[in-house]
Structure 1
Amino acid sequence: MKLTIVQWNMTHMLTQSEGYDVISRAVLMLVTLLLFFLFIFFVGTLLSIFFTTPYIQENARYILFAHILINDTLYLTLGILCLFSILSNVYFPTPLCFLILAVIAASFRVTPYNLAVMSLERYIAICFPLRHLEFCTAKRAKSAIAVIWIVGFSPSIADFVTIACSVERSFFSIAVICGHSMLIISPLQNVIRSFAHFLSFSLVALIILFTYVKVMLVARRLGSRQSSALKAARTVLLHVFQLILCMVSFISTVLETTIPGYNSDLRIVGFLIFTYLPRFLSPLIYGIRDEVFRKYIGKFYHTVFSPFHRLIYEIKHGVFHKCIRKQ
C-alpha cells in the first residue's frame, strides 16, 4: 500500500512538472513571437523609408543596408520556423528541410559579407572620393549582393553533394525533424561548415580592419574632429560591432552540443539572447545612428502616432472639463 502511494505521488509530481513545462514553453514561445513582431515593425519602418525615398534608393550604402534588413528578417523567420517545429515535433520532407537549412546557413554568412562590402564602400568614399560615384553605384551594389549570395550558398552546395554521395536515394523520401544535427551524415560536413565559417569571418574581419586603419589615417591627416573621414571610421567601427554580434550566434550552437539536458526552455532562451537580440540590435543601432534614417524615422513615427496622441489628449482634456463642470 505504501508502495502504491509513493508511485501515485511520483506520477502526480511528474504530471505537474510536465504541466509546468508546457506552460513555460507556451509563454516563452508567445514572448518570442511578440519580440519577432516588434522586430518586423521596426524593420518594416526602415524598409518603408527606403522604398519611398528616391534619394535613398539610389545610394549604394543604403541599398546594402536594406539588404541586411531583408536578410536578417529572412534569417529570423526561418529560424523561428525551425525552432517551433523542433519544439512541436513537426516533421518535414528531407529535401524541404535541407532547403530551409541551406537558406538559413547562407543568410547567416551573407550578413558579414554585406558588412565587409559596406566597409569597402566607406573606404572608397574617403580614400578615393573622386571615384566614389563611379565605383559605388546602385547597379554595382546590386551586383555585389548577387555575388554575396552565390558565395554564401557555396558551402551549402558542397554540403548537399556530400550528403548525396553518402546516402541512398531513399534518404530523400523520408521526413525528419528539421534541425542541423538531423542532416549530419558525414564528418566531412562539419569540416566544410567549420572551414567556411572560419574563412568567412577571418576574411571579413581583415577587410573591416584594413578599411578602418586606412580611413583613420585619412582622418588624422585631415585633423578635424567633424571630418567625414572620422565619421566614416566610426561607421566602420560600428561594422566591427555588428560582426561581433553576428558571431554571438555561435554561442547558441556550442551550448546545444556541450550542455547535457538542453531542454526546450533553454533552447528558446538561447535563441532569444544569442540569435534574436544581435539581429535586432544591429539594424536598430545603425538605423538610429544614421542621420538620414533618423530624420525620416522621426517623421514617420510622428505621422503614425500623432493621431493617437491627439485622441488621448482630447479624451483627457474632455474628461478634465467634465470633472470641472460636475464640481
Structure 2
Amino acid sequence: LWNVNLKRITNFTVGLQYRGTLEVLLFSAPITTSCCVFLLVNGTMLYILRSKAVFRETARYVLLYNLLFADTIQMVLSQLLYILSACRIRLTYPVCGFLVMLANLTTGISPLTLVVMSLERYVAVCYPLRHASIVTIRKTALAIIIVWAVSSLNVFIRLILLLNFPFEDLESLQMKDFCSNTPLLLGPMSDHYDKAYTWVLFVSAGVAVTCSYIGVMIAARSASTDKVSARKVRNTLLLHLIQLGLSLSSTIYDPLVTEISKVLDRVTILRIWSILYVFMILFPRCLSPLIYGIRDQMIRGILMYHLCCQVKLPNSIKLLKY
C-alpha cells in the first residue's frame, strides 16, 4: 500500500499543464480582493467583540468571537495556499504539512463552536430563568478550551500518521504539485482516519444542532415561552445548521477535485478548482460576519460605524459608550 501511494504521488503530476498568466490573473484578482474585503469585515468584528465590555461579558458573543477567529485564520491559510498554487510555487512536504495541519485545526473549530452556540441558544429559550446560572463566562471559556483541545487532538493524531510514512523512499521532499490536504494523505491509515473523523464530527454536530432546533420548536408552543424570542432563536439555529452543512462541503473539496481530475484535462480542472474554492472554501467562511453582523442589532450599528469610516449612525451612538 505504501508503494501504491508512492507511485500515485510520483505519477500524479506527469505532463503538468498550467493556465496562462492572464487567465490566472482574471481568476485570482477578484477572488483575492473578495477575500481581503471579508478579512477586513472579520477583523473589524473581532475588534468590536473585544473592545466592548457588553460583548466580552456575554457568553454568546464570546462564542461568536471564537467562531470568527477560527474562520479568519482558516480564510488566511486557504487564501495563502490558493495564491501559492496560482503562482505555481511548490512547497516541501514539511512546510506544506505545517500549513495544512494548522488549517485542519481551525477547520474543526467551526462545527464544534456551532454546537456550543446552539446549546447556549437552546438553554436561553427552554430554561430562561436558569440561563444566567447555567451559561456563565467561566463555563463558556471551559467549553472553548474543550473545543480547541478536541481539534488539537485530531491534528496530533494526523501528525503521528503522517510521520509514520517512509519519507526516505521519496525521490525528494519537494512536492510535485501544489500544497493541499490530499497529497498529505500518504498512507491508507491517514485516508481512513480523515474520512472517519470528518463523518463522526459532522454527524455528531448535525444531530446536536438538529436536536436543539427541535427542542426550541417544542418550547415555542408553550404558553410561557416568549414567542418572538423563540422564533429568533429558531431561525438562528436553522442558520447554524446551514453553516454546518457548508462547512461539511469544504471537507469534500479535495476528494471532489481528485475525482474530477480522473476524467478532465488539467487546465479544465484548474478552472473548476478555482470556482469550487470560492463556493466550498471561501463562501462558508464569509457567512458568519454576514449572519451575525447584519442580523444582530447589538453588533450591526457599531460594525457599520467602523466600516463607514466612523460616521456615527443612530443605532450605534448608544452602544459606543459601553
Aligned residues: 290
Question: 2:12 matched to which residue of 1?
Answer: none
2:310 maps to a residue whose letter is V
Q: Classify the secondary structure of the residue corresponding to 2:91.
A: strand
Q: Could you tell me how far apart the structure 1 residues matched to 2:303 and 2:120 are?
A: 24
- Any gaps of 5 or more consecutive residues in structure 2? 1-16, 313-322
Report if the CA contact (8 A) 2:206-2:241 is conserved: yes
2:186 maps to a residue whose letter is I
Q: Could you tell me how far apart the structure 2 residues matched to 1:203 and 1:157 are?
A: 21
How far did residue 225 of structure 1 move?
7.2
- Any gaps of 5 or more consecutive residues in structure 1? 1-16, 307-327
Question: 2:223 matched to which residue of 1?
Answer: 222
TM-score, normalising length from structure 2? Answer: 0.81
Question: 1:291 matched to which residue of 2?
Answer: 297
Q: Could you tell me how far apart the structure 2 residues matched to 1:282 and 1:104 are?
A: 18
Question: 2:34 matched to which residue of 1?
Answer: 35
How far did residue 32 of structure 1 move?
1.6
Q: Percent identity?
A: 26
Q: Could you tell me how far apart the structure 2 residues matched to 1:179 and 1:21 are?
A: 22
Q: Structure 1 residues 100 and 303, CA, compared in 2 at 3 Å: closer, same or farther?
A: closer
Q: Structure 1 residues 63 and 170, CA, compared in 2 at 3 Å: closer, same or farther?
A: farther
> 1:167-220: CA deviations, max 9, x gaps?
15687x933342223222211111101100100001101111111111111111
Which stretch shows the higher mean deviation, 126-135 or 234-243? 126-135
Q: Could you tell me how far apart the structure 2 residues matched to 1:45 and 1:184 are?
A: 36
Q: Could you tell me how far apart the structure 1 residues matched to 2:287 and 2:255 are?
A: 22
Q: Could you tell me how far apart the structure 1 residues matched to 2:240 and 2:283 are?
A: 16
Question: 2:105 matched to which residue of 1?
Answer: 106
Q: Could you tell me how far apart the structure 2 residues matched to 1:253 and 1:94 are?
A: 17
Report if the CA contact (8 A) 1:97-1:178 is conserved: yes
Q: Could you tell me how far apart the structure 1 residues matched to 2:227 and 2:65 are?
A: 26
Q: Could you tell me how far apart the structure 2 residues matched to 1:206 and 1:288 are?
A: 27
Question: 2:320 matched to which residue of 1?
Answer: none
Q: Structure 1 residues 228 and 88, CA, compared in 2 at 3 Å: closer, same or farther?
A: same
Question: 2:122 matched to which residue of 1?
Answer: 123
How far did residue 300 of structure 1 move?
3.4
How far did residue 81 of structure 1 move?
1.4
Name the larger-Rg structure: 1
How far did residue 163 of structure 1 move?
2.5
Taking the TM superposition and a 5 Å limit, the aligned residue runs for 1:61-210 are: 61-168=60-167, 174-176=173-175, 177-210=178-211
Question: 1:23 matched to which residue of 2?
Answer: 22
How far did residue 222 of structure 1 move?
2.6
Q: Which structure would you say has the larger RCO, counting Cα contacts within 8 Å and 6 or more residues apart?
A: 2
Question: 2:269 matched to which residue of 1?
Answer: 263
How far did residue 279 of structure 1 move?
1.4
Q: Structure 1 residues 271 and 305, CA, compared in 2 at 3 Å: closer, same or farther?
A: farther
Report if the CA contact (8 A) 1:155-1:192 is conserved: no
How far did residue 138 of structure 1 move?
2.1
Report if the CA contact (8 A) 1:49-1:296 is conserved: yes
Runs (4+) of structure 1 moved beyond 6 Å?
Answer: none
> 1:77-127: CA deviations, max 9, x gaps?
111111222333323343332121111112112111110000011112222
Report if the CA contact (8 A) 2:112-2:205 is conserved: yes
Q: Structure 1 residues 77 and 302, CA, compared in 2 at 3 Å: closer, same or farther?
A: closer
How far did residue 289 of structure 1 move?
0.9
Report if the CA contact (8 A) 1:106-1:153 is conserved: yes
Report if the CA contact (8 A) 1:159-1:189 is conserved: yes
Which stretch shows the higher mean deviation, 198-207 or 141-150? 141-150
Q: Classify the secondary structure of the residue corresponding to 1:282.
A: helix
2:106 maps to a residue whose letter is S
Report if the CA contact (8 A) 1:64-1:114 is conserved: yes
Q: Structure 1 residues 91 and 155, CA, compared in 2 at 3 Å: closer, same or farther?
A: same
1:75 maps to a residue whose letter is Q
